[in-house]
Amino acid sequence: MNNRDLLDLCFRNLFRRRARTLLAVIGVVVGTCAIVVMMSIGYGLTANFQEQIESYGNLHLIQVSSNGNNGVANQDDLKGIINDKTLKTMSEIKGVDAVTPIISEYMTVAVGKKVTQTEFVGIDADVLEKFNYEVSEGRMLKATDKNGVLFGNNVPMWFYNPNKNDWSEEPEKVVGEKLVITADWEYGMKKKSSDSDKIQYPEFKGKGIGVLAAENDESAYRVYMNMADLEEIIAANKKARKDNSSSTNSRLGKTYDQAWVYVGEIADVEDVIKVLKEDMGYYTYSPTDWLNAMQDTANMIQAVLGGIGGISLFVAALGITNTMIMSIYERTKEIGVMKVIGANLKDIRKMFLIEAGLIGFGGGVIGLILSYLISFLMNTVLINVMGSFLSELGGYGSSVSIIPWYVALGALAFATFVGVAAGYGPARRAMNLSALESLRNE
């Protein structure tokens, strides 16, 4: 028998007993719906957790701090020390895309009459782009930009006139503007404190290069400069403060307090942190520290919800088996006739398997459509009605229920598989039915 005829025959058999077929299909619809909707809530929760954590910072970024033991430890122990040699070692860890040492200084930046105080971060301009930052205005920082300043997305909004009380909402135009950079907190004020011991910090001329695109992390609250430029400024500030400590050490070369490590795949972050902490002796900070605990919770909730769905699909499988067995009793004589006039045994088995599979597949398709509908309603109607309740469940983000395409496909495949599996026993029974026996009982 060719497949088209087989399929045609199966459809007719199913449509012959519409009510009963429908009942079996409804079972699968409910089962599929239960699994998909339950899992979609789990995925919604996970996505919300992720959103929440991303707001804590860039998930790809690990901030590394030295252990503060520069020069104290024995001769060739580089544990916990950030210098050129260990930076290279970091960049060679599997999964690491880029590494840069970080220096920072909290200073005032002024454009025209307006000022703001912010953290200046000195960075290697060549690796900045590797950290996946993009500009929304102007351009990226280049190594040749002498005293060029790249602004975090929120910084331009914070400029104010120190002599007036006007906090405008409008972000200050900084790209292409001349800037003044100084550690003097009172820069631009007409009325300065009268303290005579006040340190006389130098003022530096700078230039606005660009503004970073909005990122939901701390990069939005900083400004960036070339490492070498910021080093000069810091050195001058130290001199003004009469501070003699040096970050250069004869044995270790130049050392840094901090470095950033960028990991391409979020999945690798955990492993990289482990190497940095346990093998290399650094302190690390990454938003993924939070993620794991939350992920565990989300996984558990999802497993429980998915399990409930699974049980209902199992019940649906019993429904299919029952339908097929009833169908065999009813069609015993037909099966006998088909065998006597020459239907291949395998075709008879296939017929029942396909019928059961079709119930599973059909139920799966309808179940999926219904799931998407329910998911849509949950994300639109329910989210408003039950807003506060959902936020307690971790409904921080924009959607309660998310159905990834692979869950949809997987559920469909599973429903079909359940159908075929449920039909397997009955199909064998039909195949092994004695043709004579089935014709005799009239």
* Chain contacts with another protein (rule: CB under 8 A): 1-2, 4-5, 12-13, 16, 333-334, 336-347, 435-436, 439, 442
The encoded tokens of residue 53 equal: 């954590």
* C-beta of residue 10 within 8 angstroms of C-beta of residue 252: no
For residues 210 and 129, the answer to whether their CB atoms sit within 8 Å is no
Smallest distance from the beta carbon of 359 to another protein, in angstroms? 17
CB of 311 to another protein, least distance (A): 35
Q: How far is the CB of 396 from another protein (least distance, A)?
A: 56
Instruction: Closer to another protein by CB, 318 or 340: give it.
Output: 340
Amino acid at 166: D
Q: To the nearest whole angstrom, how small is the minimum distance from the Cβ of residue 44 to another protein?
A: 45
> CA distances (Å), 265 to each of 52, 269, 283, 291, in order?
19, 7, 21, 14
Complex with another protein: residue 421 or 435, whichever CB lies closer: 435
Distance (Å, whole) CA 439 – CA 385: 62
3-state secondary structure of 101: strand
What residues does 1 pair with on adjacent strands? none
- In whole angstroms, the minimum distance from the beta carbon of 14 to another protein comes to 10
Q: Which is nearer to another protein, 8 or 296 (CB)?
A: 8
**Which residue, 5 or 265, has its beta carbon nearer to another protein?**
5
The tokens describing 161, both together, are: 């006139």
Nearer to another protein, 203 or 334 (CB): 334
Contact 212, 138 (CB under 8 A): no
Nearer residue to another protein within complex by CB, 113 or 440 = 440
Residue 232 contacts by C-beta under 8 Å, 6 or more apart in sequence? none
To the nearest whole angstrom, how small is the minimum distance from the Cβ of residue 268 to another protein? 55
Please, which residue, 36 or 348, has the CB nearer to another protein? 348
The distance of Cα 255 from the centroid of its chain, to the nearest Å, equals 34
Q: Check: CB of residue 102 under 8 Å from CB of residue 119.
A: no
Pairwise CA distance, residues 124 & 224, whole Å? 10
CB of 9 to another protein, least distance (A): 8
Q: Which is nearer to another protein, 90 or 354 (CB)?
A: 354
Q: How far is the CB of 430 from another protein (least distance, A)?
A: 13
Contact present, 359 and 426 (Cβ < 8 Å): no
Gap between the Cα atoms of 427 and 407, Å rounded: 29
Tell the smallest beta-carbon distance from residue 8 to another protein (Å).
9
Our CB check for another protein shows the closer of 11 and 106 to be: 11
Q: Measured at the alpha carbon of residue 60, what is the angle toward residues 261 and 395, in degrees to the nearest 5?
A: 150
Question: Which one, of 185, 197, 186, 201, lies nearest residue 239 by Cα?
Answer: 201
- Tell me the chain's radius of gyration from C-alpha atoms: 34
